[in-house]
Amino acid sequence: MSYDVISFNNFVGSTGNVEGRVAVKNHLTVGYGWSVGSSTGNSPSDSFISYGVVAGGNVVWSSGEIYPHNKQTPSGLVTENMFAGGSFTGADYLQDRITGNCSTAGCLAQEFDDAKACYVAYQNAFASKTDNVQKLIQWSALILTCNNPAASEYVVTLHPSEMSQYTYVVQENCSSTARWIVNIDTTANVVMNGVTISSGGAFIYNILGSGRTINVGWIQVIGSILAPNNILDQPGGSVTGKVVVGDVTKSLNLLRYSCFVPI
């Protein structure tokens, strides 16, 4: 799964955690007790990589932990460390975990730019798919009627204004194991404060455009967020899935999920 959270600018967090690995093009700034990697190394497909945390710029990290760490988890998992491209401010024991750095400023910029181009290509491919789900918002419900009950993938387009109009989701004629792609169009900011569409398969919110703010309130969003040109602001709740965004201005809990789209 490699990196579960990728920011193509900065990452600002609080006393929360990222259960997987995190990669940040520029600066990482987090608070006391912030941790990374508590769910890494738990499956045969999740191979060891050298760095659980990658930051191309400066790191400010008061205290916390990078897992796996053989001193913290005597389970035989190999310790993963930190790449800090710039300066480090924080706990000495975390500074001791820095095993990679930049010899020149911005040494990872090209790698991140290449990765962003790849994710934008994924985003455009998802956006070009034709909806095969009928939607209706009625009596505070988002009713999704799938055209084919045996389809392996469902695609539906939602507008940000629609996402605030429902408090629960009803799925009709839909496969329980299909992959879902929700394309979120227009240029408006996105407020995610409602119920997540349920899916037994992989799930992605494909948030198009650039410069849009994605606000996650006190809910659990289950599904990956693909928004390489947009901004995540998460003052509460959690996101269970892969997160690929242009910037993270606030983060609390970003959790792992067993099913991901191939991003």
Angle 227-66-241 from CA coordinates, rounded to 5°: 30
Neighbours of 159 (CB within 10 A): 13
The reported pTM is: 0.94
Residues of the chain with pLDDT under 70: 1, 42-44, 71-76, 258-263
Contacts of 246 (CB under 8 A, 6+ apart): 7, 8, 9, 210, 227, 228, 229, 230, 231
pLDDT at 258: 58
pLDDT at 41: 76
d(CA 38, CA 41): 9
Amino acid at 155: V
d(CA 22, CA 256): 12
Rg of the chain's alpha carbons, rounded to an integer?
A: 19
- Residue 249's alpha-carbon distances to 145, 187, 216, 235, in angstroms, are 36, 19, 12, 9
pLDDT at 234: 95
As given in the structure block, the two tokens for residue 109 are 């910029």
pLDDT at 260: 47
Question: By the 8 A CB rule, do 97 and 82 touch?
Answer: yes
As given in the structure block, the two tokens for residue 5 are 């959270």
pLDDT at 28: 98
pLDDT digits (tens, 9 = 90+) for 230-243: 999 999 899 999 99
Instruction: Judge if the upstream peptide bond of residue 68 is cis by omega within 30 degrees of 0.
Output: yes
pLDDT at 72: 62
As given in the structure block, the two tokens for residue 187 are 């240029």
Phi first, then psi: what are they for 57, rounded to 5°? Answer: -120, -140
